[in-house]
Amino acid sequence: MKKMLLAIGVITLLIAFAVTGCRIGKEEKHKFTEDRIEEVGEDIWADLSKAKVGVCIYRFSDNYMTLFRREIESYLVGLGFTKENIMIVDSADSEVVQDRQVRAFIDQGVDALIINPVDPSDVSDITNLAVEADIPLIYINREPEAEEEVRWEDNKWDVSYVGCDARQSGTIQGKIIADLGIENIDLNGDGVIQYIIVEGDPGNADTLYRSEYCIKALDDAGLQSECVFKGYADWEREKAEELVSEALKGGVEAEVIFCNNDAMALGTLSAIEKAGMRAGKDIQIVGVDALTDVLIAVQEGQIAGTVFNNYIQQSHSAVDALITYLSNETNPHYIGCDYVAVTPSNVQTIIESLAR
Ligand code: BGC
């Protein structure tokens, strides 16, 4: 299925290229400095093997972003980019490092940038650098603030964001829990769902909206709930395990644990097991992403469900958008993608669709 989708994507893109290739006259060609024209010739987009792309990932050790960056690379290579012209760097969760990397990419003469921002609330410097250098820029996964996106729109800059609406993932998490039925969740029988939220990093739209909307979905389902503990684990498995272990040792009693992502759901699962509780029976866990280990845990009944955060579609959309800009066409400034609920009833299908 995935191979078929990939094939359709590539064919669509090749058709788009054939069309735009005919339409763009020499004088209209986009964004080449004199140096770059001398280096590669004017017809760079007819031969993608010469195009250089710089990619910054906020932190390489993030499990989900590892899947994302590998997919970006393999999709670029599949389209004809050469490996040595695809530069993917680890911003090591540091804004300073990322800023330096963007400047270095520009100095090296990259033709396009894909940035997974360390601090999505403060990307204006990166945008300005790219715009001044006349280089198309696609932000991925960590959504910049609304006013920043307005700036791209107002100035008609070749800058876009590719990602999903975090509210949707939170809503799906809440529905997965509500659908279990109150009798299976409210084990202390007080008519209220006591819950823990294990959060990503502060100020991140995914953290804020997932935490807010999972509870809103419980409210909308007419279920009463009470937060008994909440803490940040920075999207990391080990930190989540530590956080939840400490909470349980401190006497926190919960019926549900909402995790802002799957890496933290796996850490939570370990903490529950080490505390001698039976995940999926004594307590319900739900995550976001659809990491393989979580899909297995959903299949085995330890994790109630997760939400597929489609890195394949998002990485392809980011690359497609970048090529569209380079072909002198326009893109929407916000390019979305839908989340998908994963529960025991469809987990096998998701596993099969992700198998290469
Ligand atoms: C993913 C997380 C990831 C985070 C990084 C989220 O969309 O669900 O797994 O750690 O992005 O910002």
What CATH number should be reported for the domain holding residue 181? 3.40.50.2300
Ligand 1, pocket residues at CB < 6 Å: 62, 64-65, 141-142, 200, 204, 206, 235, 261, 263, 288-289, 309
Whether 257 and 142 map to the same domain: the answer is: no
Q: Which segments in the chain show pLDDT lower than 70? A: 1-46, 356
Residue 194: domain span: 167-308
Whether 223 and 293 map to the same domain: the answer is: yes
Whether 228 and 122 map to the same domain: the answer is: no
Whether 326 and 198 map to the same domain: the answer is: no
Contact by Cβ (8 Å): 81, 51? yes
For residue range 195-249, list pLDDT tens digits in order: 999 999 998 999 999 999 999 999 999 999 999 999 999 999 999 999 999 999 9
- The alpha carbon of 48 is separated from its chain's Cα centroid by a whole number of angstroms, namely 26
* Calpha distance 167→189 (Å, rounded): 29
At 74, give phi and psi (nearest 5°): -70, -35
Residues 6+ apart with CB under 8 A from 221: 174, 175, 178
Whether 15 and 89 map to the same domain: the answer is: yes
- Residue 157 inside a domain? The answer is yes
Instruction: Give how far Cα 134 sits from Cα of 30, 106, 110, 158, Å.
Output: 9, 10, 11, 8
- Residue 124 inside a domain? The answer is yes
Whether 103 and 192 map to the same domain: the answer is: no
Say how many domains are in the chain: 2
pLDDT at residue 203, as a whole number: 87
Helix axis angle, 311-326 to 63-79, nearest 10°: 40
262 CA to centre of ligand 1 in angstroms: 9
24 CA to centre of ligand 1 in angstroms: 38
Q: Whose CA is nearest to atom 12 of ligand 1?
A: 142
Whether 117 and 31 map to the same domain: the answer is: yes
Last residue of one domain, picked from the residues 292, 308, 324:
308
Instruction: Give how far Cα 65 sits from Cα of 142, 222, 301, Å.
Output: 11, 35, 26
* Calpha distance 279→299 (Å, rounded): 13
pLDDT at residue 327, as a whole number: 83
Contact by Cβ (8 Å): 58, 65? yes
Whether 226 and 301 map to the same domain: the answer is: yes
DSSP 221: T
pLDDT at residue 60, as a whole number: 98
Atom number in ligand 1 closest to CA 116: 12
